[in-house]
Amino acid sequence: MSTLVQNPAPEFSAKAVDGGKFRQVTLSEFKGKYVVLFFYPLDFTFVCPTEITAFSDKADEFAKRNCQVLGVSVDSHYTHLAWTNVPREQGGLGEIKYPLIADLTKSIARDYGVLIEGAGIALRGLFLIDKAGVVRHQLINDLPLGRSVDEAIRMLDALQFFETNGEVCPANWKPGSATIKPDPEGSKKYFEQCTK
């Protein structure tokens, strides 16, 4: 499996459930926005609804950062709709504030390198795509390991900080904490502060 980081995000067009309705979604319609594209294995499972609803609960945080969240699985748009019609307290999703994309042909998961070919389902892949359509971050978890939505927001913040300021973000960086000037002289200030 190769990385997509620093490469154009593979384009796709597929049916999705968005706001309780079916529509065709393409990646290119979000050009000029950041995109967090995440894959999950299957509808009506156990870890997946915790991630899908957690992303939905933070949809406003992503929107404030000019970022569109997109969820993808190999299920049909009909199955996505059925799952959103089941209340959360019964293991369903309820209302979701971003499109859930149907990848019935498995081509999107394959193009992003997360398809488990024999099982025909996707690993828990997450891709941060910049405004120009380039993948800037990817994370792939095995099936039983849920992702952190807060970490996805932190990575988006770090990318946007770098793009705005030209300074790089060290380990565990959060907005408001120290950054590093990416040159031998400029970086000394950061490292001097860290050793005190």
First vs last Cα of the chain: how many Å apart? 42
Phi-psi domain of 6 (left: phi exceeds 0; alpha: psi -120 through 50; beta: other)? left
Asked whether the CA dihedral 47, 48, 49, 50 is positive or negative, the reply is positive
Active site residue 48: yes
Q: 123 vs 50, 134, 139, CA distance in Å?
A: 15, 21, 10
Give the β-pairing of 21-26 and 100-102. Answer: unpaired
Which residue among the candidates 48, 67, 169, 194 is catalytic per the annotation? 48
Query: In 3D, which of 123, 121, 118 has the Cα closest to residue 106?
Result: 121
Catalytic residues: 48
